[in-house]
Amino acid sequence: MEGSANMIGYGLAAIGPGIGIGLIFAAYINGVARQPEAQSRLQSIAILGFALAEALAIIGIALAFVL
Amino acid sequence: MITAASATIAAESGESFHAPGPSIFDLPGIAGSEVTKPMVQLLLAAILVFGFFYLASRKRALVPGKLQFAGEGAYGFVRNGVGRDIIGSHDFQKFVPYLVTIFFFILVNNLFATIPFIQFPTFSRAGMAYALAGLSWVIYNAVGIAKHGPIGYLKLQSVPSGVSPVMYPLLVPLEFFSNILVRPVTLALRLFCNMFAGHILLVLFATGGFHLILEYGGIGYVAGPLALVLAVVVSFLEILIQFLQAYVFVLLNAMYIQGALADEH
């Protein structure tokens, strides 16, 4: 079996954003559970945070293929 | 390295398996021309979105029919859920057509990845996503410059408020870099890479599953069907991601417009 270390590196690099996305949605669920009427406001903030954390994983996969 | 994903597994019998790499996205032009499949899909998506909203809004009855109801629901989702909530009720009206158009255009293009016989996400070609991100970059900067003037807009986007001036040499270049230069790049890369990675994952599970069943033998008869079942599961995950990415793209667009219109950072 042959392959490239890029892919292992990318797998490791995806751990960080994975933890980040988990924390963001944990906080979002907590917030909604404590104050359900705030859901519509919290949702857009949660999606924004998710998008920012995900951007790191995305940059990682782009670099894994380019480098 | 272009061979990044071309890992090969030597089989017990039969030929070796070549994992799908970026080369599966290099589609030849249709009938020898320069026109490729994603280009046709872009056109098709534009026609579909236009056709749907044209037919839905043609009659404009006070009591909506089925099609008009669907159209109003789709329009209202982006208008209220994204436009009014993010940009604010004062001046969101004039951006609603743009937001609705771009949301449904991206959504239809993404859904092409799971529609049988098409099965290719348009935005897995990076150029298509660059064009969309470039358009939104021009729009939110133009909106900000029209409201605050060129100097005022640059000041708004690059000088953070509520920070002592001692920090300005450090923060101003950073804010300028992240607000003006990096935003369109991440906007395009997010859409492109999600579609790219999802498509490559599906192709890997599907072709790998068939390879395990047909060529590998032995444990392949157990692992192959498992891989094919996983391909179905991943397809559903992909449908979720297709919706989510269209929503995230239009949400971020609305946030950038709101940031450009805001009175202070």
Q: Please give the ipTM for the structure prediction.
A: 0.75
Return d(Cα A61, Cα B197) in angstroms, integer: 8
B194 touches chain A (CB under 8 A): yes
Q: What tens digit of pLDDT does each residue of B5-27 get?
A: 444 454 444 567 777 878 888 88
Res. B217: pLDDT tops 50: yes
Contact A7 B190 (CB under 8 A): no
d(CA A22, CA A40): 20
* Interface contact B190-A51, CB threshold 8 A: yes
Evaluate if residue A1 carries a pLDDT over 60: no
Residue pairs between chains A and B whose CB atoms are closer than 8 Å: 56
Q: How far apart are CA B27 and CA A9, in angstroms?
A: 28
Per CB-CB distance under 8 Å, the chain B contacts of A7 are 4-5, 7
Structural domains of chain B, count: 1
pLDDT of residue B163: 85
**Phi/psi at B154 (nearest 5 deg)?**
-60, -40
- DSSP-derived pairing of the beta strands B17-18 and B8-9: antiparallel
Residue B195 touches partner A, C-beta closer than 8 Å: no
Whether residue B252 lies within 8 A of chain A, CB to CB, comes out as: yes
- Chain centre distance of CA B229: 26
Q: From chain A, pick out residues whose CB is under 8 angstroms from the CB of B1.
A: 4, 6, 67
Contact of B4 with chain A, judged by CB distance below 8 Å, is answered with yes
CB contact A5 to B (< 8 Å): no
The reported pTM is 0.85
Give me the pLDDT at residue B3, please: 41
Higher pLDDT: B70 or A6? It is B70
Query: Which of B126, B5, B70 minimizes the C-alpha distance to A58?
Result: B126
Q: CA-based angle B22:B188:A61, to the nearest 5?
A: 40
- For range A40-65, the mean pLDDT: 83
Q: Place A34 in a pLDDT band, splitting at 50, 70 and 90.
A: very high
pLDDT of residue B27: 84
Please state, rounded to an integer, the average pLDDT across all residues of chain B.
Answer: 87
pLDDT at A47: 84
| Contact across the interface for A4 and B5, Cβ inside 8 Å | yes
Determine whether the interchain pair A44/B194 forms a contact, defined as Cβ–Cβ distance below 8 Å.
no
Query: Under an 8 A CB cutoff, do A4 and B7 touch?
Result: yes
Q: What is the predicted pLDDT for the residue at A7?
A: 80
Question: The domain containing residue B30 runs over which residues?
Answer: 4-261
Long-range CB contact pairs, B109-112, < 8 A, 24+: B109/B41, B109/B42, B109/B45, B110/B195, B110/B242, B110/B243, B110/B245, B110/B246, B111/B239, B111/B242, B112/B41, B112/B44, B112/B45
Cross-chain Cβ contact A44/B251 below 8 Å: yes
Tell if the CB–CB gap between B7 and A7 is shorter than 8 Å. Answer: yes
Model confidence over B171-195: pLDDT tens digits? 999 989 988 998 898 899 899 988 9
Nearest to B126, CA basis, from B194, B224, B33: B194
- A30 CA: distance to closest CA in chain B (Å): 21
Length of chain A: 67
Cα separation, B192 vs A36, whole angstroms: 34
Q: Is B68 left (phi over 0), alpha (psi -120 to 50) or beta?
A: alpha
For residue B148, the one-letter residue type is H
A7 to B194: CB separation less than 8 angstroms, yes or no: no
pLDDT tens, B225-249?
Answer: 999 999 999 999 999 999 989 999 9
What is the arithmetic mean of pLDDT over B140-163? 90
Confidence category of residue B254, pLDDT binned at 50, 70, 90: very high
- CA-nearest of B122, B190, B101, B127 to A48 is B190
Phi–psi pair at B40, nearest 5 degrees? -60, -40
* Mean local confidence (pLDDT), A17-42: 93
Q: How far is A36 from chain B (nearest CA, A)?
A: 17
Q: Does B77 touch chain A (CB under 8 A)?
A: no
B253 band by pLDDT with thresholds 50, 70 and 90: very high
Position B60 scores a pLDDT of 81
Q: What is the pLDDT of residue B102?
A: 94
> Token digits for B239?
């449908």
Core vs surface per residue B94-127: b (16+ CB within 10 A) or e: ebbebbbbbbbbbbbbbbbbbeeeeebbbbbbbe
The per-residue pLDDT for range B57-80, each reduced to its tens digit, is 888 888 888 899 999 999 999 998
Indicate if the pLDDT at residue A8 is higher than 90.
no
What gap in Å lies between CA B207 and CA B37, rounded to an integer? 21
How many angstroms separate the Cα of A66 from the Cα of each of B58, B60, B186, B261? 48, 51, 16, 37
